[in-house]
A and B are shown apart, each in its own frame.
Chain A
Amino acid sequence: MVRYQRADPEAPRALIVALSPPLLRLFRSQIAIREHAEDLLQETWMRIHRVRHTYRPGEPVLPWVYAIARRVGIDGYRRTRRITSHESTMDVLPERSAQVENRALPEFATLVAALPEAQREVVTMMKVGGLSLEEVARATSCTVGAVKQKAHRAYERLRKLLEAHAAEGWKGGIDELR
């Protein structure tokens, strides 16, 4: 990052190659914005480039990048919501996907979609982005205690969801998840 701030042309390449895959996974793990994941990735890098002076040398890079990506994701979500609110609703619901029908292990994005936004964000950053509690706290402008509490509540809720899913007939049960 310091080399990037000093305009070393090799530095952005190294950052883009290293950080784009987890950022794309982060955007794709959010159902509301997954369609625009690649656009959001590009927008994140443009915004990172615009505000690269706000990175303080010596500080961890990941929370800084994720904080900016989170903001881009929020803007993207609001933009998508604004666009879809102008679209007409369908009279007939589409057929349920085979994935839901065959009682397979629910997709991560489907599972976390049931969580409140703040809890979903924490779980996604920790499990998809691989961030620590402190890094998530930094990225979401929260205290570490608040992140711990959100993560705990999210795990509780996910456990209940998986148990309900297993009880409905999923043969593998939740043990397969562990």
Chain B
Amino acid sequence: MNCGDEPSADALSQIERRIVADLQVVRPVMPAGNIVLFAAIFASLLFIAVYSLGAFAITVMSPLQTSTMLGTTAIGTGLLIYSLIHQMVPGSLHRVSPSLLPIAILMSMMGVIAALFQFQPDADFWPRAWVCLRAGTPIGFLAGVPFWLVLRRGAILSPTVTGTAAGLLSGLLGTSVLEIHCPNLDALHILVSHLGAAILCSIAGFTLGLRAERRSASRPFIRRP
């Protein structure tokens, strides 16, 4: 294979000099600690939001609906946290493709909602949907800030994929709050306004990630001295 020469000794010593000049002890990332951190942020924000808004949906939903909806959201949240932890460490082995996971989670949630709840025509559909979207989306955006603070220590490989997953995780927090709070059991309402909050947050995460990726690609090459 004729793929090129060896790097010059001069170039290598220049790289080495630059690295050694800035050498400091670093603490490796702790995946287990980060899992706990992500879960704690999610649980505490969920508790605060539900406490301030009220848990009216729990009294209206059947035990099957409550357990399945919250269970599906919990599984999706767990998988996203697991994926994000792996994305923070380059060279991790992914059991599920990180770019496909957000789509798979959203699709399965749509399926669960369509199967569990009935579609009931509602003349005030859009005003009600808007109220829920306006409550759930800001919660998601707000949750994105602490998640980003954890993620910025790693997650350097694909800001778009990480941004989408982190956005969806934040959005699922908004969705969970609405699932516990909103007593409207129309399937279309839940799909559009509850899950819509998660979709909007993941789109925002994707956009921010894309911007970060473009900024990274627009920096000039490091010039060799």
Query: Chain A residues in contact with chain B, CB under 8 A?
Result: 5-7, 9, 12-13, 16-17, 20-21, 24-25, 28-29, 34, 36-43, 45-47, 49, 51-57, 59-60, 62-68, 70-71, 74-76, 78-79, 82, 107-109, 127-128, 134, 137-139, 141-144, 146
A and B contact pairs by CB, cutoff 8 A, 26 listed: A5-B25, A5-B26, A9-B23, A12-B19, A13-B20, A24-B6, A25-B4, A28-B3, A34-B4, A41-B7, A42-B14, A42-B224, A49-B19, A53-B28, A54-B29, A54-B153, A55-B89, A55-B90, A64-B89, A65-B91, A71-B158, A79-B217, A79-B219, A82-B217, A109-B3, A143-B94
Query: Is B52 part of the binding interface, using a Cβ–Cβ cutoff of 8 Å?
Result: no
What number of B residues sit within 8 Å (CB to CB) of A? 52
**Stretch in B41-49, B95-103, B120-128 with 4+ CB within 8 Å of A:** B95-103
Number of A-B contacts (CB under 8 A): 163
Does the CB pair A67–B90 fall under 8 Å?
yes
Interface of A is mostly: helix
User: With A12-B20, A56-B28 in contact, is A134–B15 under 8 Å at CB?
Assistant: no
Q: How far is the CA of A139 from the CA of B156 in the complex (A)?
A: 13
Which residues does chain A contribute within 8 Å of B28, judged by CB atoms? Answer: 5, 53-57
B19: min CB distance to chain A, Å? 5
Which residues does chain B contribute within 8 Å of A57, judged by CB atoms? Answer: 28
Does the CB pair B12–A49 fall under 8 Å?
no
Q: How far is the CA of A42 from the CA of B13 in the complex (A)?
A: 11
Query: Is B183 part of the binding interface, using a Cβ–Cβ cutoff of 8 Å?
Result: no
B156's partner among A6, A21, A68 (CB-CB below 8 A) is: A68
User: With A54-B156, A78-B217 in contact, is A20–B12 under 8 Å at CB?
Assistant: yes
A130: min CB distance to chain B, Å? 11
Which residues does chain A contribute within 8 Å of B26, judged by CB atoms? Answer: 5, 7, 52-53
Interface of B is mostly: loop
Does the CB pair B221–A36 fall under 8 Å?
yes
Does the CB pair B4–A75 fall under 8 Å?
no
Does the CB pair A54–B90 fall under 8 Å?
yes
Does the CB pair B23–A67 fall under 8 Å?
no
Which residues does chain A contribute within 8 Å of B23, judged by CB atoms? Answer: 7, 9, 12
Q: How far is the CA of A21 from the CA of B7 in the complex (A)?
A: 6
Q: How far is the CA of A21 from the CA of B8 in the complex (A)?
A: 9
A108: min CB distance to chain B, Å? 5
Does the CB pair A134–B93 fall under 8 Å?
yes
Which residues does chain B contribute within 8 Å of A79, judged by CB atoms? Answer: 217-221
Does the CB pair A143–B222 fall under 8 Å?
no
Does the CB pair B11–A41 fall under 8 Å?
yes
A46: min CB distance to chain B, Å? 6
Which residues does chain A contribute within 8 Å of B15, judged by CB atoms? Answer: 16, 20, 41-42, 45-46
